[in-house]
């Protein structure tokens, strides 16, 4: 089945540093990937839609300069949290959808738990 790999699974870093999270589709091509943020005991909040070879589409209220998204190939999208602060601590999840055919569901990575000290 379709597998999405997300790395790292857990990161702890100091306030002010930048953190890069990778999302890879291992056995399929994905023109579109999605980045979500999830707070404890809450649902997923879509942050942005990542499109291969073009700029990401951000949801209202999400800072583009804070959360940099790059989708340079059909199997890799990255989310960089720049100058991270404690309020950026959260669980970040990516998903990818196979390009090939209609009605394909999104496949999710296992998430990245980000803790900013």
User: Where do contacts with another protein occur on this chain (CB under 8 A)?
Assistant: 4, 6, 31-32, 34, 41-44, 46, 49, 93, 95, 97, 101-111, 113
Contact criterion met (CB below 8 Å) for 81 and 67 = yes
- Smallest gap from Cβ 88 to another protein, in A, equals 19
- Smallest gap from Cβ 111 to another protein, in A, equals 4
- Smallest gap from Cβ 70 to another protein, in A, equals 19
Nearer to another protein, 14 or 101 (CB): 101
> How does strand 10-13 pair with strand 112-116?
parallel
Nearer to another protein, 40 or 86 (CB): 40
- Residue 17, classified by CB atoms within 10 Å of its CB into exposed (0-12), middle (13-18) or buried (19+), is middle
β-pair partners for 63: none
Quickly tell me which residue has 């953190």 as its tokens: 19
């Amino acid at each position: 089945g379709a597998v999405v790999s997300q790395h790292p699974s857990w990161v702890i870093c100091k306030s002010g540093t930048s953190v890069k999270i990778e999302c890879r589709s291992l056995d399929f091509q994905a023109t579109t990937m999605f980045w979500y943020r999830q707070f404890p005991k809450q649902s997923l909040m879509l942050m942005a839609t990542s499109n291969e070879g073009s700029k990401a589409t951000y949801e209202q209220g999400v800072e583009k300069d804070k959360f940099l998204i790059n989708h340079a190939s059909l199997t890799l999208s990255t989310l960089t949290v720049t100058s991270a602060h404690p309020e950026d601590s959260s669980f970040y999840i990516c998903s990818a959808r196979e390009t090939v055919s209609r009605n394909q569901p999104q496949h999710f990575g296992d998430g990245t738990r980000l803790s900013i000290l």
